[in-house]
Every structure is written in structure tokens, then in C-alpha cells.
Amino acid sequence: MNESLFINIIIGISIASTPLIFAAIGELLVERSGVLNLGVEGMMIVGALLGFVVQFHTGNPFLAVFAALLGGMAISSIFAFLTQFLLTNQVATGLALTLFGLGFSAFAGRGYTEETIVLIKAIHIPVLSDIPFIGPLVFSMNPLVYLAFFMVYLVWWFLFKTKQGLILRSIGDNHDAAHAIGHNVVRYRFMAILFGGAMAGVGGAFLSLVQVPIWGEDMTAGRGWIALGLVVFASWLPFRIILGAILFGGITVLQLHAQGFDIRISAQYLSMLPYLATILILVSLRIRLKNKTNRTVPNCLGRIFHSTS
Amino acid sequence: MSKVRFSSILKLTVLSTVLAFTSNVSADPVKAAFVYIGPTGDHGWTYAHDEGVKYAKEKLGDDVIMTTIENVAENSDSERVITSLARKNDIVFTTSFGYMNPTVKVAKRYPDVKFEHATGYMLEDNVSVYSARFYEGRHVIGKIAGRMTESNVVGYIASFPIPEVIRGINSAFLAAKSVNPDVQIKVVWVYSWYDPGKEADAANALIAQGADVLMQHTDSTAAMTVAEENGVYAFGQASNMREWGPNAQLTGIINDWGPYYADRIAAVRDGTWSSSDTFAGVQQGMVKFAPMNNNMPTEVKNEAMQAIIDLSMGKIHPFTGPINKQDGSPWLAEGETPPNFPDLLTMDFYVEGIDSQYPN
Amino acid sequence: MIKLIPRVENSKVMILLSPLLAMTLTALTALIIFIFILDDIKVSSVFFTLFVLPLTDSYLFPELLVKAAPLMIIGLGLSIGFRAGIWNIGAEGQYVIGGIAGGAVGLYFYNVEGFWLLPLMAIASILGGMFYASIAAFLRIRYQVNEILVTLMLTYVAVLFLSAMLQGPLRNPAGFNFPESRIFHDSAMLPIIWEGTRLHIGFIVAIILSFVAWFGIKKHMFGMQIKITGSAPRAAKFAGFNDNKTVLYSLLISGGLAGLAGFFEASGPAGQLTPGLPQFYGFTAIIVAFLARLHPIGILFSALLIALSYVGGEEVQIEYNLPSSITQIFQGMLLFYFLACDILIKYKVVLNKTKN
């Protein structure tokens, strides 16, 4: 394999993985607070539409990404309101959110299927980007790829290095106890859900602002569900999201390359690989961790909290 | 078929005959309905059908009332949708292969309604089938690709291994090879008709592996945009995709269903409709081309234009022997062209010279 | 400010009233949307087409039941697992495998008449669905791997497997090499229970199953076990209930029922195996289960309601040329309101002006 092909594959993997990283890291924080939001797909698609629309009208990528962020937040606020104030079941509300998001974006975006935009380009740093091999791999990625990595770090830092992060985790583990010592469970969870929505929105917008300069209904094509799977895969540990997303995106991209190289396996079975590999890796991780008790699962995940006092 | 079912169908038949009779007495406009597999905004397959519907509406004006329904999945829901349409319309067009059995089932229950099924093969007294010889379009773009590639690698993004897609790959390859003996074709299956992200991933993979001309048999404009970004060439699919690749799009295969739709609806109006089997190509104007890009050398453009002219006069056939199958066994003898059935309509093999393995 | 006070006992009145309130709110919101997007069409007739026509039309009403039947069967199975806190998100995959297994048996005995064929297909489909769900059960029990991820991933695998089967062994030999099976032989088709419609025996099975489940949950030991495991895992352990058994049985039941639904779909309205077999019944059934608050009899009604939104939605699209996304928006809203109004069952809403 020659060098430029290798670099191309890595860039391809980064493009396929980044939407998953954004959506999954947002959902990770949400789940750490004890909330399970299955509406990731719906929030992503709304972000994809809004990012595209704003980029189309303004041509300003900062505004476009910001709009996607706000869009994801806005639609997640429906979920937050219903689950936190009206105490609805989270699984069902999340599914409803996905339905609603897909329908809303398809309807609102009807006028934009004929349009195209200027993509957000990869950066080029003089000198650094020109270093052979290292340059293209480390210093010439898309700015949103770096942002995704930074968000993972930020979530890790927030969860494990700040007081608020500690509180959020304790709420996820035992909301009654956290409430008893005076923490505002609903407020923390509300904020976490909005953050999850914002990240899903940006992840969706990555598809329409970086990967392809088009908008089409259902263009997220199930990536929100994969992101949900990645959170579990990562055992709710932020940095493992990167690992999982790269593995998943990597196998997706590599199976396309394998077809190009004509590796003699049926394409259907090759296409199964990303899903089967995710399960296998998960099992092997568990085997290795077998003797350690797993303390990363938020105990209150999906449970409804209501304070009586 | 069991007795119970038969008698129930008979009842419905009588009922619908009466209904159809009463509705045909007055000189009402023809009611035509169209079932779409995707959204009209896909800019591929469904978009092209919808453009055809608009054309027919413009042409027939007040003589026709159009109903379209989009995003109808190819499952048991489609039978209900087709039935609902059959109850209210004079002619129903079902525009995807997967509607075949539901269409035939419903047609049996509504013998006075006309049905037109795209890309299938089941003909009935009140069911026509129609399809286009897209492989003729692939022949033209194959020639262009063979000339334009410098790396001698043409990338092909394919959806599902069905005869129509296989015909396209074989036709494009043979045409490319006829002008460039060193050309190779790399096929990547994405197992989706519409997934912009995955289509873009496939386009990127093919470009990374050296392809400098892309073809696609998927519906979105994603591959075209990737080609434009990477400075390689591509061809529009089903519609003119110039806007997404002003430099990349050399030309495009355009599915022009409009005249056919206008004709068939007019035939219902005039009472001349009868079941027919249409497999039309460049000659009949069902397969057309987007304007040739000016960045192509004149010789290449002329050669492509010549191929289009030859096809439209029926002078050439994209599959003209001698052609062997991929495993070396003979398919067509010197000068032989294949019949529609079974060779073209059931094609499930690559021709000799294609490196990729046939998906199965 | 508004305060929620838990009721000592679920309000019987609200159990009936809250769905009505939700429907009213949905209708009101839909009204506003329709007034906004429709210029020259009578909103009242859109409403009629959407809500009433599918219930009164002699063709659409049986179709409504056809659409509801698989949702009922899958929803029932899922509700049992959900009660125990077992999150089988991949019923869609088990449904597909069940459909393949049942269909494969039917195709193997093509042209063979026999009363035993349909039962054999049913058993194959149930076993197929059970087997597929048991992978998740095994991994959860043996390696503590979360079943949400495994069932979800296996759904994608099942869909690709279906595609591979239809490209290979199950492909119609006379089908022009399209990825579809043959149309099933008459003896492999489900009996029709309403002459002239597609309504098949699967609907009756769905009704029977829901009563069996209702009875089972009330009376049977396993019903108690899952209920307690779901609501109070520690108490369940003290009571000596085996957690692994709960995981295994709930996944086997939901998988088996999903598989059965796949067979009903293939041998009923579809009549053959096609790539269109998966149609999100597995996911939609999750919503159905929750709309019914996991109650077996409630599931009958919630499945009908969701089916109504599909069938009515199609009619509205046909009649008024509205995009299909309207149906999705509408379903989403319906669910939001239903879930929100349920709060009135468990809580009293009171206004108190003084903050404590």
C-alpha cells in the first residue's frame, strides 16, 4: 500500500467517524446524568438541515455550525421538557423525537434539495501541513474533526475533573441521594440533554457541511443509532468513544476499499463486518475486564426522577 | 387458488366494474396516479419520474388530474397504496421494481383500471411494463470514460446486484475498453439506493484507489460533489447534476419518462390504451443526455455524439459479439446481439475483462 | 407555580381520560399546522380522511387491522422484557430472521400440500426469532454485554443476511435474477378471516396472545418475577429470583414473538420474501408497547392507533398531495401528547402560589 493511499484511507475514516464522535459524546454526557435519549437520529437530521440552510443563505461556516448546534438543542428541549417536567418514559419519548425530527426536517427542507453549498474545507497550516506523512495526517484535517476530539476531551474533563461533573455523575448513579443532599437533579439533566442535542446537531451537520454539500431527507441514514451503540460500546468512558467511532467508521470505509481491491468476500458479508466487529470487540473487552466490577454504567439510566419535597 | 379467495375476487370485480362504468360515462379528465419509491427531492430516480409527470401534465393540461405519492416502501404497504389509488383513478403507474407483485395483485381485482409498472416483467391484460435501455446511456459514458481516464481506472458506485445495474456495468466497461484497451473498472457496492454519506465514502475510496472517472448507479448527488471536490470526472445519474459538479460532470444520463407518460395517459383518454411491453432507449428518446461539458476535448465529444447518433438510428448495439463471460465461456458470437429475454433482462454475470468479483 | 403531587393510587378516571385529552391536543395542533400549510383545502375533510375514513371505509378498515397485527404481536413480546428492564431494541432483526426461517420452510416445501405446513413454518419462525434473540441473551448472561447494543447491531446484520439469502438460495429461479423469493404456494399462505380482504389469521392470534399475556402477567410466577426484577432488582434477588433466567426468558419470548410476526407478514400480506420485509415494525412496536404503558390489552389499542396514523396518513397523502413527512410529524406529536398526558394518571397537578 502506498503512502498517499494510506493517508487517503485515514482521512476517509476521520470523515466517516466524526459525526459519530459528536453524536456519541453528547449522548454519553446525557446518559451519565441518568437519562437515555433514543432521539439521536432525529436531532442529527435537524442539525444537518439547519447547518445546510444557514450555510446556503449566509455562506458563513461559523454561523452554520452554530445554527446546527442550536437546532439540535431546540429539538432536544422537547425531550427535556417531556421527560424532566412531565416525567414521560424516556425510551418512548426518544423514539418519538426521532420520528418527529425526521418528519420535521423532511418537511421543512423540501425547498433545499435542489441546492448546493460551499463545503467547510480542511485546514492548511503553512510548514506544518507540508511535513511528509505527519503533515497531512495531523495538521491537515477538517477543523470540525479537531473540534470533535476537543469535545471528547472537554466532556472527560468536565465529568472527571470538575465539581459539577462529579455531581452530574452522582445524579446518574443515584438521583434520590443526590437530591437529598440538595442537588437540582432536573436542572442538571435538562442541561445535559440540551448539550446532547447540540452535539448531535453538529454531528448531523458534519454530514451536510463537510462530507457532502447537499441536503436530502433521511441523509443521516441510521448514524444516530450507531452513535447510541457507541456509548454502550465505550462503557460510558469518553475516550473510548473515539476508539469505537474510529473502529466503526474504519471498518465501514475499509470494506469499501476492500471491494475496490477485490477481496473475494461477498459484499453483503463485508457490509456486516462493522456491526459484527462491534459486538466482538465488546465481548472481548468484557472478557478482559471480567474480574473488575464495572462501575461506569449509570445506575439510574432511564429511570424517572420525581422529587416529592 | 382456493375457492374462498376466488369468489371474493369475483365479487370485487363485479363491484369495481360497475364503479368504473359509471365513472367513465361523463367526459371527465383522466385520473392518473403515480407511486414513488423515494422522495421527489432525491435528484435521481424519483425526481426523474416526477419531472416526467410534470411534463405530461403540461402537455395534457385539463385532460388529466395527477396524483403522486412519494416514499412508498416496497413492502406490503404498497399493495394498500396501489389499491387506494386504483379505487379513484383510471391509470396507475408504479415506478419501482418492488411494486411488481402488488401491482399485479391489485390489477386482478380492478380489471378496468390500467396499470403501468416500471422495470418489471409481469404483463397482464391491464398491466403494461415499461423500462428504459439505460445501458445504452452507459455505452456513451463508457466511451467518454475510456478516453478521459488517465489512470485507466474507472470507479463504479453500484447499488444492488440486479440485472439493470449489471447491464450498466457491463455496457460501460465494454464501451470504455473499445476505446482504451488498458482500462479497468472498479465496482463498489453500497447496498443502498440512497445514502449520500455512504455514496460519498465509496466515491472517496474509489478516488483513493486511483479512479479518476466515476460512474454511479445510486440516486443522490453525493458522488458528483466528491468528484468536483477532488478534481476528477463523473456522470450525472437519472437527471442533470451539473449544479453539483460544474467541472466534474462530463455529461449525464437523463431518464426522460415525460413523453411516455403523456402518451399512455392520452391513450386512456382516447380509449386506445392496451397492455404493452416497452423497453425503450436512445432511439425512442427515453434515454437522453445532459449537455457535454466544454472541458472535454472535441474528439471525445464528437465520438460520444457519434455514438448517440448511432444509437438513435439503431445502427449499433452496446452488446455486440464476440463477447465472453467473465469466466471465459462464450456469450455472444461474432456480430451477434442479445435478445431482451433472457440475456438482457436476467443478466447476472460480468463480461470478460472485468476484474472485480461478481457479487453473490 | 405548578406542582405535581403523586397520587396514592393511579387515577381510574385519568386512565381513560388522558388518551382522549392527548388525541384532542394532537388534533388541535394538527389543525393549526393544516391551517398554516393548506390554503384551499378544507381542513375538516383532511381530518375526516386522517381519523375517520380508515375506521369507516370497507377497504381501509380491514387494512388497518392488517397493519396493526404485527405491531400487537411484537409489542406484546417487548412489553414483557421491558417490564423486567430488558431492552430488546432489535426486535426488527428477530422479525426478519423469523420471516426468513418461516419463509424458507415454506419455499422448501413448495408445491407440497399439507395441513402441517403452516404450523411448521410458524414453529420455524418462532425458533428463528428465539435463536436470534438468544445471542443477545447469551452475551448478556455470560459476558455482561449490554443487550441494547447487541440487538441493535444484529438488526443490521439480519437485514443484510436477508439480502444475501434473496441474492442466493431463496431467490426465485424464474424471477429474472431480482432479489425476491417465489410467491408462496397457496398452502404456505395464511388463511384469510375476512373474505375479500387481506385480514389473516395472525390478527386472531394477536388477540389471543394478548389475553394470554395478560393472564400470564397476573397469575403466573414468571409474570411476578419480571415485574419485580424490573421495578426492584434487589428485592428480586432476595426473593430468590434468578436474574439470568429473567434475561433469557424475556429475550426468548420477545424474540420468538417478533419472529412469528415476521412469518405472518411474509405469509400474509406480502406472500413472498422480498428485501422490503423489514419495515420498522420492530421499532414501531417499542412505541406501541409504551403507549399502552406495557399493558397487554392496552397494546391492542395502541397498535390500532399507530396503524390508524399510517393508513390515514397514506390516504391524506393520496387525497391532498401532502408529503409523507406529514405522517411522521403527526406520529411524533401524537406520541408526545400521549406520553405527556399520562402524567395525569400518576400525579395530581396543583397550582400553589406560595413557594416552600
The CATH code of the domain that includes C245 is 1.10.3470
pLDDT tens digits, one per residue of A255-294 = 888 888 877 677 678 778 878 887 887 788 777 766 555 5
Mean pLDDT of B276-286: 95
- Hey, are the CB atoms on B194 and A113 less than 8 Å from each other? no
- What pLDDT is recorded for position B5? 40
Distance CA(C182)–CA(C171), nearest Å, equals 7
Q: Are residues C163 and C187 in the same domain?
A: yes
Least confident of A129-138, C275-284, C288-297: A129-138
CA distance B336 to C192: 51
Residue A133: predicted pLDDT = 83
Which chain C residue is nearest to residue A236, measuring alpha carbons?
C146
CB B79 within 8 A of CB C66: no
Answer whether C127 touches B (CB < 8 Å).
no
Regarding whether C346 and C288 lie in a shared domain, the answer is no
Domain range enclosing C342: 1-40+327-356
Closest CA in chain B for residue A221: B195
Q: Would you say residue B15 has pLDDT above 90?
A: no
| Burial tier of A132 (Cβ tally within 10 Å: 0-12, 13-18, 19+) | exposed
Domains of chain B listed by start with CATH number: 3-132 (3.40.50.2300), 134-255+286-344 (3.40.50.2300)
Residues C63 and C197 in one domain: yes
Residues in chain C closer than 8 A to B359 (CB atoms): 167
Instruction: Kindly identify which residue of chain C lies nearest to residue B345, measuring between CA atoms.
Output: C176
| B5 in C contact zone (CB under 8 Å) | yes
What is the predicted pLDDT for the residue at C23?
A: 85
Side chain identity, residue A269: Y
Q: Looking at the predicted structure, is the pLDDT value of residue A58 above 80?
A: yes
Closest Cβ–Cβ partner in C66, C167, C195 for B360:
C167
> CA end-to-end span of chain C, whole Å?
11
Helix axes C91-108, C117-143, angle to 10 degrees: 140
| Interface contact C331-A96, CB threshold 8 A | yes
Exposure string over C295-313, b if 16+ CB within 10 A, otherwise e? bbebbbbbbbbbbbbbbbb
* Per-residue pLDDT, B353: 92
Asked if the C-beta of C240 comes within 8 angstroms of chain B's C-beta atoms, the answer is no
| C224 and C169 in a common domain | yes
Residues C314 and C338 in one domain: no
Residue written as grid cell 444475501:
C164
Residue B132's pLDDT is: 95
pLDDT of residue C114: 87
Handedness of CA C54, C59, C62, C67 (dihedral sign): negative
- Calculate the alpha carbon distances from A193 to A23, A40, A80 in Å: 12, 11, 6
Three-state DSSP at B267 gives helix
User: How many B-C residue pairs are in contact by the CB < 8 A criterion?
Assistant: 100
Distance between CA atoms of B45 and B196, rounded to whole angstroms?
Answer: 14
Same domain, C203 and C181: yes
Q: What is the pLDDT of residues B22-48, one digit of tens each?
A: 444 446 899 999 999 988 888 889 999
Provide the domain count of chain C: 2
B188 closest CB neighbour out of A8, A114, A256: A256
pLDDT tens string B237-254: 998 999 999 999 999 999
Which of B90, B103, B116, B45 lies closest to B278, judged by CA? B116
Cα(B256)–Cα(C270) distance, integer angstroms: 31
Nearest-CA distance from B167 to chain A in Å? 19
Most B-contacting residue of C177, C184, C201 (CB-CB within 10 A), to test interface: C177
Please tell me which chains touch B, using 3 or more CB pairs under 8 Å as the contact test: A, C
pLDDT of residue C139: 93
Pair C293, C354 in one domain: no
On whether residue C254 sits in a domain, the answer given is yes
- What is the structure's pLDDT at A1? 57
User: Using alpha carbons only, what angle is made at residue C299 by residues C298 and C301, rounded to the nearest 5 degrees?
Assistant: 70
Which pLDDT score, from 0 to 100, does residue C3 have? 76
Let me know whether C287 and C346 are in one domain. no
Residues C81 and C211 in one domain: yes
State yes or no: pLDDT of B7 exceeds 90: no
What's chain B's average pLDDT? 90
How open is the CA angle C32-C35-C41, to the nearest 5 degrees? 145
Report the candidate in B221, A96, B37 with the shortest Cα–Cα distance to residue B235: B221
**What value, to the nearest 5°, has the Cα angle with vertex B211 and ends B210 and B216?**
150
Sign (positive or negative) of CA dihedral A170, A171, A174, A175:
positive
Check residue B324 and give left, alpha or beta (phi > 0: left; psi -120 to 50: alpha). beta
3-state helix, strand, coil in chain C (%, to 5): 70, 5, 25
Share of chain A above pLDDT 90, in %: 61
What are the backbone dihedrals phi and psi of residue C351, each rounded to the nearest 5 degrees, phi first?
Answer: -100, 120
Chain B interface includes A273 (CB < 8 A) = no
Work out the angle between the directed axes of helices C60-83 and C281-291 (0-180°, nearest 10).
70
pLDDT digits (tens, 9 = 90+) for A160-210: 999 999 999 999 999 999 999 999 999 999 999 999 999 999 999 999 999
What was the ipTM of the complex prediction?
Answer: 0.90
pLDDT in tens, B118-165: 999 999 999 999 999 999 999 999 999 999 999 999 999 999 888 999
Predicted local confidence at residue B2, as pLDDT: 39
Question: Which residues have CB under 8 Å from B197's CB, separation 6+?
Answer: A16, A19, A207, A211, A212, A219, A220, A221, A223, B222
Determine, for residues B9 and C176 on separate chains, whether the beta-carbon distance falls below 8 Å: no
Check pLDDT > 80 for residue C239: no
By DSSP bridging, strand B249-255 and strand B287-289 are antiparallel
Mean pLDDT computed over A108-137: 88
Higher pLDDT among residues B297 and C243, named by residue: B297
Q: Of C66, C178, C186, which is closest to B162 when you measure between CB atoms? A: C178
The answer to whether A270 and B356 are in contact (CB under 8 A) is no
Mean of pLDDT values over A85-89: 90
Same domain, C35 and C62: no
Same domain, C21 and C112: no
Q: How confident is the model at residue B3 (pLDDT cuts 50, 70, 90)?
A: very low
Name the nearest CA neighbour of B101 among B120, B128, B88: B120
- C270 contact B CB<8A: yes
Q: Tell me: do C152 and C98 sit in the same domain.
A: yes
**Nine cell digits for residue C208:** 389471543
| A 76-135 near B (Cβ less than 8 A) | 106, 109-110, 113-114, 116, 119
What domains, with CATH codes, occur in chain A?
16-288 (1.10.3470)
The mean pLDDT value for B101-108 works out to: 96
